[in-house]
Amino acid sequence: MSKEVDTWTSSQYVLLLLLVIFAISTAEERNIYLVLVEGDPVAFHQGSLPREKGAKFDPKRQVYEVSKAHAKHLVESHDQFLQSTLAKGSYSKLYSFKNIVNGFAVHTTPSQAKKIKDAPGVKLVEKDRGAKLMTTYTPEFLGLPEGIWTQEGGDKNAGEGIVIGLIDTGINPLHPSFAYDMMDPPTSKLSNFSGACEGGPRFPATSCNGKIVSARFFAAGAQAATTLNASVDFLSPFDAVGHGSHVASTAAGNFGVPVVVNGFYYGRASGMAPRARIAVYKAIYPSLGTLADVVAAIDQATVDGVDILTLSIGPDEPPEDTLTVLGTFDIFMLFARKAGVFVVQAAGNHGPSPYTVVSYSPWVVGVASCGTDRTYPGTLVLGNGQKIAGVGLSGPSFGPGLFQYKLVLAKDAVKLNGTFPRTPQYVEECQYPEALDPIAVQGSFVICTFSAGFYNGTSTLTAIIDTARILGFMGFVFVANPAYGDFIAEPIPFSVPGIMIPRTSDALIITQYYQQQTSRDRRGFVTKYGGKAAIGEGRSAAYVGRAPVVSRLSSRGPDFIDIARNPTDVLKPDILAPGHQIWAAWSPMSALDPILSGYSFALLSGTSMATPHIAGIAALIKQYNPSWTPSMIASAMSTTATKYDKFGEPIMAEGPGIYSLYPSTPFDFGAGLVNPIRATDPGLVFSSEYEDYMSFLCSLPNADPATIRTATGESCSHSFRIPSDLNMPSVTVSALVGSQLVRRRVKNVASKPETYLCAVLPPKGVMVDINPPWFTLAPQEIQDLELKLNVTQALDGFSHGEIVLTGSLDHILRIPLSVFPVSIS
């Protein structure tokens, strides 16, 4: 009997265990959801003081007690809503959004999220899509020292009184780019800014030193999404990655900071607006980034009173279940814009394919990336005197570069009796020092080959450098492999002599020379290494070639309205700025880039690097024209940008082929390369404010009024006839059937009356008439323009042209014109 009881008890235990395992396996996984609810936030509450249309929100002008009470009410309402709607213990509230948007972020299950979505008063529920990073010489390239800096009183005053907010990975407070100059302190008081300094690991509260005027961090989303790594995911504004420091110093780093890497002096670095102040909002961590943390930072930065908001980060894909312009991220940026903040965003790094931009909305300036004419040429000199061009921020081999050393192919130096696997990482790619014969490679130049490990992303240059250091290479030569084709080589600081040879044609020359000079036995084993080589100086810059050229990685237009990538009547990207091989501040911890560990400066590429250029230039324009709204600043940049390179030729763009170029269009560069000098005095501006953006949304053919009201809380009381009537400094028509009338309005912001002549370079397949053909405006006067577009030839894609307004006082405005002529009638 006892045995039967034991058997029964055992069976019960097994059944119970199976039930527990089944319950665990079927339990819903929690996600982060962003929720917007009805009701006014603090910035737009009826108790707030009225603001002039387009003016910046001023936290110090608001009725403090009223704002504080309303903020408290909103937080309590969010808590009450969650308590009454969701099951106890089924959720964690991460944030209450209360400043520019009324809503919250919650960590819960899909079934609980559906309850929220179905509850009364809820406008929008969106699953967190995550947020990613979009990753010296440029001030001179853009003409700042001789131009706008001179107008602002030189570098000692450029950006004075402007606060640039940066939502990113934080900041390295010890970097000289962010040091406070006690001998030349700021002269302006920040009467419209109210921030805070949140201390924490590696970031004492004293880090806010006057240059850095505010520093906050947002981590609730990251903490909910994963277990953070305490060794790098610091709960403070400290930048363990380096990206945030790079972006901040590009926008507003101090003037003339020496750039020294591995003991070599590369020149001096300066931000675009070196006297602007920096407000830091850390929302991205080495382990991950969440949209919840990013939008919480936008909410706070806006109410703090930043003038410019820089987003070199963001979602990397469009929202799945709503229009691109109505995703939570874009809604937050809309309300930041409503509060008078100039918002600038990276266009993305998914180029060169079309329809890859991740900046969608007309209220945000999306920035494309280009290269300058600076390069860092390296040279490999073979024993027969042949010189092979390569890439690598490396000093010359010992001599310097005059003495030549034995050349060894890694594959020939592999230990014959080693117990390691014979994979490319061990045999060809120099990833593991234990695979190579130290006698063969010591004091030699070792040829490491691009192979499967580099192709699939598991092999690194850092490992090659480590192998070289451990085994005592004189240097390394990293060559292309014909089996994989040419590769893209970016100049990276090497702590040992090294060079990358990215072209297979050059790699073949090296291989042929090596084989000719190498003696082998019958089995193919090397008996004598006869080849020799030396590496020349690779750290000295050369200023040659075409520039600017749109970067291959820079995301391309046209802009699109949904995940199906249906085009819409907005030009994206908006503007082009340098983003290729940009020197700027770095964090020595370099948690995501071991090859840059220990460095205080880094040379990086990406639209992340282009974006802060526009942020800093916007600060200079705002300083020069303090009453201008964000759309006026954006218009001034756009209409004065150039479509031509330094040779006077149309700007080219890098194509899919590694060394290919093609003529660029506005879908590559927007309006063109930013021209800071001309942008301070454009003559005319195209201005759009919050009400105009609402009319744009209400005119979208695939958005009904209920959808707009759900997302924004606004009714469609007024709508444009067509979306392209939004008063932007560009005209985009994504489907022109027969004819269409497009309206624009310009305002004279110059100090004198001026007469303008209108001219059109029509897109292929389209006839364009502009009325009036000329006009005269006194200062502050407004002129309406009408453009009649007629299809003359149906095409299977967009064609491009431009409108040119030429003023009698030498103001010239160019307005990009992009049209898809679908049919003649």
List the catalytic residues: 168, 243, 608
Distance between CA atoms of 78 and 104, rounded to whole angstroms? 7
Classify 334 as helix, strand or coil.
Answer: helix
Tokens of 643: 């479509």
Question: Other CB atoms closer than 10 Å to residue 147's CB: what's the count?
Answer: 18
Distance between CA atoms of 362 and 375, rounded to whole angstroms? 34
- The beta strands (E) that lie in 150-271 are given as 163-168, 212-217, 257-261, 264-269
**Nearest Cα residue to 164 out of 583, 611, 590:** 611
Per residue in 293-321, is it b (16+ CB within 10 Å) or e — as a string?
A: bbbbbbbbbbbbbbbbbbbbbbbbebbee
Distance between CA atoms of 603 and 578, rounded to whole angstroms? 12
Task: Confirm if 393 and 536 have CB atoms less than 8 A apart.
Answer: no
Q: Given the DSSP bridges, would you call strands 782-791 and 766-771 parallel, antiparallel or unpaired? A: antiparallel
**Nearest Cα residue to 464 out of 425, 438, 503:** 425
Reported as half-sphere exposure (CB side, CA atoms, 13 A), residue 20 has a value of 6
- Residues ≥6 apart with Cβ < 8 Å to 514: 407, 409, 447, 531
Question: Which alpha helices (H) appear in 518-649, and where do they start and end?
Answer: 607-624, 630-640
Task: Confirm if 488 and 658 have CB atoms less than 8 A apart.
Answer: yes
Give percent helix, percent strand, percent coil of the chain, each to the nearest 5. Answer: 25, 30, 45
Distance between CA atoms of 128 and 115, rounded to whole angstroms? 17
Distance between CA atoms of 658 and 663, rounded to whole angstroms? 15
- Residues ≥6 apart with Cβ < 8 Å to 432: 420, 425, 426, 463, 467
Q: Which helix (H) or strand (E) holds 344?
A: strand 342-346
Single-letter amino acid code for the residue at 43: A
Q: Between 243-252 and 607-624, two packed helices, what is the crossing angle to 10 degrees?
A: 30
Angle, vertex CA 434, rays to CA 466 and CA 432, nearest 5: 45
At 679, give phi and psi (nearest 5°). -70, -20
- Residues ≥6 apart with Cβ < 8 Å to 780: 747, 748, 749
**Nearest Cα residue to 171 out of 142, 208, 196, 140:** 208
At 578, give phi and psi (nearest 5°). -60, 130
What distances in angstroms separate CA 195 from CA 56, 63, 304, 383, one per listed residue?
15, 17, 5, 62
- The beta strands (E) that lie in 399-547 are given as 405-409, 445-449, 475-479, 498-501, 518-520, 526-529, 532-535, 542-543
Angle, vertex CA 539, rays to CA 533 and CA 544, nearest 5: 105
Distance between CA atoms of 685 and 748, rounded to whole angstroms? 7
- The beta strands (E) that lie in 671-811 are given as 684-685, 731-737, 739-748, 754-761, 766-771, 774-777, 782-791, 799-807
Task: Confirm if 328 and 124 have CB atoms less than 8 A apart.
Answer: yes
Which residue has tokens 């064609």? 799
Task: Confirm if 257 and 268 have CB atoms less than 8 A apart.
Answer: yes
